[in-house]
Structure formats: C-alpha cells, structure tokens
A = this chain, B = another copy of it.
Amino acid sequence: MAAPRESFHMTSDEFRAHGRAVVDWVADYLDRVGDLPVASAVEPGAVRAALPPAPPERGEPFAAMLRDLDEVVMPGITHWQSPNFYGFFPCNGSGPAILGDLVSTGLGVQGMLWATSPAVTELETHVLDWVVDLLALPERFRSTGAGGGVIQDSASSATLCALIAARERAGAPYGTLAGYTSTQAHSSVEKAWRVAGLDPANLRQVPVDAAFAMRPDALATLLAADVEAGLRPTYVVATVGTTSSNAVDPLPAIAAALVGTNAWLHVDAAMSGTAAVCPEYRWIHDGLDRADSYCFNPHKWMFTSFDCDAFYVADRAALTRALSIVPEYLRNAASDSGAVVDYRDWQIPLGRRFRALKLWFVIRHYGAEGLRHHVREHVALAQELAAWIDADPRLVLSVPPPLNLVCFRHVEGDARTQALLDALNGTGEAYLTHTRLGDNLTIRVSVGATQTRREHVERLRALVDFHA
C-alpha cells in the first residue's frame, strides 16, 4: 500500500510544463478563432450534461482538463475574440494584457490597502495618471491634485460608486433626491439607482434628439420642475457613446443646465472613451472638465483584457467619505499617516487584484502610437461600412456613426430586419446583436475586436449584400 502523499500541490516543474501547454493552447486558439463559427450553437443544458454529476474524489491529470476544455467547454463558447465578432461591444484582449494579468495572478497579492502591497496602489495611480495624458483628460482627474483614478471591474460599478458619493454629498433625505439620465443610457444607471435605495420614481429619463443624444433643454425643464416640487437634483449621468447607437451627449450644455444645482455629473464613456487617444476624436470629451466623475473601459476598446474600468473623480475626498469604513484589523501606520491612497475606500468590495499590471503592459507594448493606429483603423472600417449601407436602397443607416458602431435596419421593416440579422448570424461567419432605436428594430455592428481587419469587414459587407 502506498504511503500517504505529503502534498497535492502542482510542482514547479509541472507548472512550467503545463504553463507552456496553456500558453500554446491560447496562442493556437487566437490563431484559429477567426475560422470558427462565431456564436455557440449549443442548446441549454448541453454543457452541463457532458460534465460528471459529482466532483472527483481523487485528483486528475492536467491533460484531462485541457481535453475537456476542448471537448466540453469550447462548443459552448461564443467567440468574443473572433475578428468576425461585431456584437454588444468590443472586449478586445491582447497578448500584453493576457501576460500582464498572468503576472498578477502569479503574484497573488491584494491591493485593498497601500500597505498590503504598495506597488499595487502606486502603479495603479500612476498608470491612471498616464491615461489622463493619453486621452487628454481634464487635469482635475489627475491624482496630483484633489482627484484621481482607480480601476473598477466595470462601468456599472463606477456608476454605483459615483452615485453613492453624490447621494452622500447631497446631505438631504434620500427620498428627496432626484437623478437624470437619457432614455439611451446604459441599464446600469437604473440598476445603481435601485441598489442605492433611491426612489425609482425620482430617476428621470431625459428625452433625446434625432441623434439619440440627451436634450439639454429637456434636462433643464425636468430640473426646474423637480426643484419646484421640492426635490433635489443630485445625480446626472451623461453618456459619451451610448450602447444602442454611440450617441454622444452634449456635455457643455448639460453642465450649463446644472449650474446652480449641487448635482454630481458623472460621464459614462465605457464604450467610446478610448477614441480620445486620437486628437481628432477628442471632441467627444468637450465639457468633461465640468464633470465630477468619469469612466471608460480599457477592457472594451483598449486591448486590455476584462476586467478593467478606469474611473476618475475630481474630488476623491467626496468618494472616500462615502465609502470608507475602517475596522481595527485594517488599521496601519501608513494609512493613519494620510500619506497613502487606500483603494478599498474607492470601491464596493474590499479585496482587489493587481489589475494595473495588464494596463501598464498594454500601454507600454503599443505605445500611444500603436493605440491610435488601431483605433483609427476600426473607425475607418466602420465609416466605410456605414457609407456602403447608406448607399444601398435596401438598407437604412440609423444615424451617421460618430465612431466605430454602425446601426442600420432593412427598409422593409422589423420583420425583414430580424430575418436579415438571423441570416447573418446563421452563417457563423459574423455575429451581430440588435437594439431598438425609436420605433425600429436595429442591427448593431460594433467594430473593435483585436483581430478585425479590412478583409473581415469586407466579408461582412458581402454577407449583408447577399442576405439583404
């Protein structure tokens, strides 16, 4: 009978060997992902049905995991990294991001306090200051003044944190607080409002103009009516690049409408903020210098693997006052000195990964030059596709695309649009998702996957031409 094992851990040599196998597996995957049908075709329950009902009593060889990854998991994967993925939003990972995140997982350190690993906090603060340069963001968001940046998991969480800060800054009974966002804002605004315990009846959906951007005149009217009714305008979320159509809310006019209120202006540029790496697209941020907070997602269009939302505040004290709770077991000399940032107080959870590493690797690998190149390429491809759609009598371009999201429908109406969408997705050669704009079912083409090149968008055009 064998002696009891002393350790079940993977040895260093095993880790090196299996690690190489996984690196090659990922590389092979990214090499072939463009040839795979984009969307998974599995039926509900099919993946589970192929898995053993109970966990193993004895450990299994690593090769068994890789085998099941190929045989059981992969059929259930919709390929967000495919060059033919145009759905939802770009979620464009990249080599340097994947490897930066691997270092983070390997280090396995916590960044909840400066003291729990000082480099986690300092690199994050520093790289987010770099991003202020990269995107020419307002100086008020730099950590060297009263503001600063922090990495959140997602824009949803940034929206919630900004709302909590706004709610506390208002200093009024919660039932009297009113919020404002456009009818086109992301669903996370409504979700944050609900989570924060505020009255759903006091969250206004501001009407939009023909380009689906918030109407500042309508906002002003709502503000005046609420003040008249005894409510306190507390939180306004403007969107730079809406989910449905990439509409850009007019920040200067929105900020002007807020003069005289104490409302917190949060700007959600999750999907489109990255465009500001290019000077010619920086107009999307006009007026941002009057915002209290801002976020965009490097995990959406800046080649930084999910999750990485860059969230900035102009007054970090307003945020940390709302979110700081200090139990004895987290007290330490560095925090007590006030000389350091403790990111625990900038977010909802306590624990936090070393996420700055992947963003740091990405910025250094591409340089500003490389990021600009690929953003310009995506925008150019989207614009060409839009021009072609606009010229086709069978198709209606919903709006002139500001950047890299093209929205269109079939001229014959919703049923025909749905049939076109189904036909396109049915080919497996492209994946697109839908929305409604005004009364119309609308097909969205989000151009921003890492591997998307001219040949892929031209193939999409041919498919649309054939099925329209």
A331-344 interface mask toward B, CB cutoff 8 Å, 1 = contact, 0 = none? 00010010110000
Consensus secondary structure, chain A interface:
helix
In the bound complex, how far is the Cα of B191 from the Cα of A325, in angstroms?
Answer: 7
Cross-chain contact B77 with A93 (CB below 8 angstroms): no
Among B54, B306, B329, the residue within 8 A (CB) of A243 is B329
Report chain B residues within 8 Å CB of A204.
none
Cross-chain contact A329 with B433 (CB below 8 angstroms): yes
Cross-chain contact B57 with A368 (CB below 8 angstroms): yes
Among B103, B117, B133, B164, the residue within 8 A (CB) of A25 is B103
Q: A116-B78, A334-B44 are in contact. Are A329 and B188 (CB under 8 A)?
A: no
Q: How far is the CB of A340 from chain B (nearest CB, A)?
A: 5
A282-322 interface mask toward B, CB cutoff 8 Å, 1 = contact, 0 = none? 00000000000000000100010111000000000000001
Q: Is A244 an interface residue (CB 8 A)?
A: yes
Closest to A87 in B: B116
Binds B, one of A12-20, A214-222, A253-261: A12-20
A115-138 interface mask toward B, CB cutoff 8 Å, 1 = contact, 0 = none? 111111011011000110110000
Residue from the set A73, A76, A81 with the largest chain B CB neighbour count within 10 Å? A73
In the bound complex, how far is the Cα of B187 from the Cα of A330, in angstroms?
Answer: 10
In the bound complex, how far is the Cα of B11 from the Cα of A95, in angstroms?
Answer: 8
Cross-chain contact A350 with B187 (CB below 8 angstroms): yes
Among B77, B106, B134, the residue within 8 A (CB) of A119 is B77
In the bound complex, how far is the Cα of B309 from the Cα of A351, in angstroms?
Answer: 11
Cross-chain contact A10 with B94 (CB below 8 angstroms): yes
Cross-chain contact B18 with A99 (CB below 8 angstroms): yes
Q: A191-B323, A339-B44 are in contact. Are A96 and B197 (CB under 8 A)?
A: no
Binds B, one of A149-157, A409-417, A460-468: A149-157
Q: A103-B25, A197-B197 are in contact. Are A94 and B348 (CB under 8 A)?
A: no
Q: Is A327 an interface residue (CB 8 A)?
A: yes
Q: A102-B22, A329-B244 are in contact. Are A365 and B10 (CB under 8 A)?
A: yes
A5-49 interface mask toward B, CB cutoff 8 Å, 1 = contact, 0 = none? 101111010111011101111110111000000001010111110
Cross-chain contact A103 with B8 (CB below 8 angstroms): no
Q: A47-B118, A153-B349 are in contact. List 12 more A-B contacts (CB 8 A).
A: A16-B27, A18-B99, A19-B98, A23-B102, A55-B363, A65-B100, A72-B119, A102-B102, A153-B153, A187-B350, A328-B434, A328-B436
Listed by A's residue number, 23 A-B pairs whose Cβ atoms lie within 8 Å are A8-B373, A9-B303, A12-B31, A18-B99, A23-B23, A44-B340, A45-B339, A47-B118, A55-B133, A56-B367, A57-B369, A59-B365, A65-B361, A69-B103, A73-B119, A75-B119, A91-B109, A108-B305, A187-B325, A188-B349, A197-B197, A328-B435, A348-B348
